[in-house]
């Protein structure tokens, strides 16, 4: 089970993740997000990141050339797409790509088929991003048998075990669930990583 801590934006956040070593961090490059960070501000901070931790840049309907530019500035490992990006768009991205899909009902299976051959991971979310709200995980039960799934949306220390039991994702993606007053909380990150890994 791999772990992604999303919404990293400060030096303190980098120090925390270096200590507890999740598999991935997420950096939000969507200007409308409260966790948005300027590429030129986060880039030097990322130089201090433990090289074992992969950097995932999160974008929403951004021009593909700008995505590739930011990926190079910040030396990103993975691009995570959260908008209406189609297959032709994905083909223009120069890094490994993940596609986020909003789960509203069981029709999610049709969307999975569309993207399966073009992305490394399909991330299932509630579509609201960082609100702390989950979706009905039963819609995603058994999907991991045929797809490489990351699970996001409202995951925290109280529900992560249930989320893993139902969805069996390859990656658990946590953001607001490890925050206090909108900022990453070291104790919450420590607790959830220890719980998942043990």
Active site residues: 6, 125
Q: Phi/psi zone of residue 6: left (φ > 0), alpha (ψ -120 to 50 degrees), beta?
A: beta
Encode burial over 91-123: b for 16+ CB neighbours within 10 A, e otherwise: eebebebbbbbebeeeebeeebeebeebbebbb
Given a contact cutoff of 8 angstroms between Cβ atoms, the answer to whether 181 and 156 are in contact is no
DSSP state string for 78-93? EEEE-SS--HHHHHT-
């Amino acid at each position: 089970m791999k772990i992604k801590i999303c919404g990293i934006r400060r030096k303190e956040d980098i120090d925390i993740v270096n200590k507890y070593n999740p598999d991935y961090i997420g950096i939000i490059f969507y200007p409308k997000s409260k966790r948005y960070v300027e590429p030129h501000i986060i880039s030097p901070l990322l130089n201090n990141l433990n090289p074992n931790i992969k950097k995932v840049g999160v974008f929403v309907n951004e021009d593909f050339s700008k995505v590739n530019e930011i990926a190079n500035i910040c030396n990103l490992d993975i691009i995570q797409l959260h908008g209406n990006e189609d297959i032709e768009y994905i083909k223009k991205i120069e890094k490994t790509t993940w596609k986020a899909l909003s789960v509203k009902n069981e029709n999610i299976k049709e969307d999975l088929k569309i993207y399966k051959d073009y992305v490394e991971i399909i991330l299932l979310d509630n579509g609201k991003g960082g609100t702390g709200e989950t979706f009905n995980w039963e819609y995603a039960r058994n999907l991991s048998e045929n797809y490489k799934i990351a699970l996001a949306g409202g995951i925290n220390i109280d529900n992560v075990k249930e989320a893993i039991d139902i969805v069996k994702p390859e990656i658990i993606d946590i953001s607001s669930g490890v925050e206090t007053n909108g900022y990453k909380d070291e104790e919450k990150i420590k607790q959830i990583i220890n719980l998942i890994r043990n």
